[in-house]
Amino acid sequence: MRFTAFFSEQAARVVRSPGIYKFAVLVAVSGGGIVAYADATSNPASEYTEAAPKKKLVVLGTGWAGTSFLRNVDTSLYDVRIVSPRNYFTFTPLLPSVTCGTVEPRSIVEPIRNIMKKKTGPVSFSEAECYKIDHANQKILCRSDIGTNMDGNGEFQLDYDYLVVALGARSNTFNTPGVPEHCHFLKEVEDAQRIRRSVVNCFERANLPNLSEEEKKRNLHFVIIGGGPTGVEFSAELHDFVKDDLSKLYPSTQELFKISLIEAGEHILTMFDKRITQFAEDKFRRDGIDVKTNFKVVSVSDKAITMTNSSSGEVKVPYGMAVWSTGIGTRPIIFDFMKQIGQGDRRVLATDEWLRVIGCDNVYALGDCATIAQRKVMEDISSIFKVADKDNSGTLTGKEIKDVLDDIIERYPQVALFLKTKQLSDFSDLLKLSGGDAAKESAELDIEGFKKALAQVDSQVKMLPATAQVAAQEGQYLARCFNRMKICEEHPEGPLRIRGSGRHRFKPFRYRHLGQFAPLGGEQTAAQLPGDWISIGQSSQWLWYSVYASKQVSWRTRFLVVSDWMRRFVFGRDSSCI
């Protein structure tokens, strides 16, 4: 039998595709014999190459700054690792409400794993405390209390390519004797729970038999040290708790109960408008809250607080419970890190306007643990003049100044603030302070005149407040920078480099103040919003409800918080000592 074979596209095919081998197959069948030939070659140029490993991005902390960063960063671009002693995020503005049962603790916390499970890239979380940052070797040393490693001590190390430090801050005691041992703080959920138990315990102790009137008064005297937003809001919450709920359960103690708010300055809520400060002080006095201003606490014992005043001298006040809320201090790990990088003489970790730690190219810090060291105009005045003087004539014309004006204002925000404060319409009006005619583009200005015009600009350099609002905005900004890092390295979008060439990769961080609230009790809240808009009363309280509900990080916590508010309206606050 004769067979005839022919070749067509079905019999011989060459496949060319990147990373795939190409085959040529030739088959002939004739006279009962079979002849076959096959050739297989590879294309080295099109071989599959493994993608470069992702850079390791380590995030320390799950507070406002850390969580805001993690929610917005593209985790598919990095190998993200999170280290924090808490496996949840806390909505800290509602902590005073937790102290008195207005809101339950679990209603204001969201597990960090719930937040990160929505991300596209893999993210690992370790519930541990970072106790040292080894910047020289680019690693962090951590310790876990919930488990142990092979050595049995729960310690481990993590390497990093980028490190984001968002560890927050601790309560500042100003080294006042007795404060850590006898005072409560209000920075964590556990603090709020301890305060809640302590308040109820004070009322229960005051109702024990065979207790003197003086001892009952001491147990029911609640002292809050610090007249800032936290101290004021807790004082208001405590007053409402006793007035609306505990006074009905402990009727015999109604006349013995007392709240004292101690402030070292002349007024409480000094960061607010004077109208709000005055209203708050007047309302507290009407409610029976003893506001003591110009008093400095010098020591705290188990039964009395010692404080001094310029007019009355040293005074000892017996108390049942004390809450310390006087500001924040730097954590020991941050102090140690600052010494490593040459910032040992500072009180807080310093970053540049891009939230990068000064002296470190791959370490970023945000939130309460760091502050932005805004570059001064007068420090760079010669470099600014040189950048603007493109023709190297030694003088600046109006046109040359206008060409770099946007970059100067973007790089040095104090320039815009100074113009606003002095009610100057533009940069030309500022230059007129030097005596020149800046309105004419041909007018020339030498460096001495330039220095004279900008001499007062740095007076507008302001430190950002240590608030949740600032930390959240910093986290969002840094996440955008990380998401666009590769693009901006090729196409920088920041201002001109005053002390170098080219442009900065990113635009510097700019804080946008969205307003602030001060709940004052009795369903009244003071609101200070942008544009010098002041509102005090029940309408502001409902605005406070809506804003704080909308700012929750999940629908779960949003529903729980709103339901807690509704429960309190219907059933009152829970006084169980648990």
pLDDT band at 11 (very low <50, low <70, confident <90, very high): very low
Q: Is the pLDDT of residue 2 over 60?
A: no
CA–chain centroid gap for 392, Å, is: 44
pLDDT band at 348 (very low <50, low <70, confident <90, very high): very high
303: three-class secondary structure by DSSP: coil
For the ranges 163-167, 432-436, 553-557, the lowest mean pLDDT is seen at 432-436
Specify the pLDDT at position 426: 67
Nearest CA-CA partner of 187 in 45, 58, 290, 331: 331
Find the mean pLDDT for residues 135-153: 82
Q: What is the pTM of this model?
A: 0.87
Could you read off the pLDDT of 358-396 as tens digits, one per residue? 999 999 999 999 999 999 999 999 999 999 888 888 888
Q: What is the DSSP string of 482-545?
A: HHTHHHHHHS--SPBPTTSSSB-SSPPP------EEEEEETTEEEEEETTTEEEEEHHHHHHHH
Residue 38 phi, psi dihedral angles, 5° rounding = -135, 140
Distance CA 387, CA 411 (A): 13
Q: Which residue has the higher pLDDT, 252 or 48?
A: 252
Long-range CB pairs of 187-190 (<8 Å, 24+ gap) are: 187/92, 187/95, 188/86, 188/90, 188/95, 189/90, 189/95, 189/98, 189/105, 189/108, 189/109
CB 268 within 8 A of CB 232: yes
Specify the pLDDT at position 400: 84
Specify the pLDDT at position 320: 97
Percent of the chain with pLDDT over 90: 73
CB 349 within 8 A of CB 209: no
Nearest CA-CA partner of 329 in 477, 182, 179: 179
Q: Is the pLDDT of residue 22 over 70?
A: no
Mean pLDDT of the chain: 88
Percent of the chain with pLDDT over 70: 87
Strands 258-263 and 444-445, bridge-based pairing? unpaired
Distance CA 24, CA 64 (A): 62
Q: Which residue has the higher pLDDT, 527 or 420?
A: 527
How many residues are listed for the chain in this entry? Answer: 578
Specify the pLDDT at position 436: 53
Could you read off the pLDDT of 386-427 as tens digits, one per residue? 998 888 888 888 788 888 888 888 999 998 888 888 777 666
CB 553 within 8 A of CB 536: no
Q: Is the pLDDT of residue 474 over 50?
A: yes
**Residue 83 C-beta-side C-alpha neighbours within 13 Å:** 27
Query: Residue 66 belongs to what H/E stretch?
Result: helix 64-72
Could you read off the pLDDT of 432-457 as tens digits, one per residue? 655 555 445 556 788 888 888 888 88
pLDDT band at 476 (very low <50, low <70, confident <90, very high): very high
For residue 75, the one-letter residue type is T
Could you read off the pLDDT of 267-289 as tens digits, one per residue? 999 999 999 999 999 999 999 99
Specify the pLDDT at position 34: 41
CB 445 within 8 A of CB 431: yes
The region, left, alpha or beta by phi > 0 then psi within -120 to 50, assigned to residue 529 is beta
DSSP 161: S
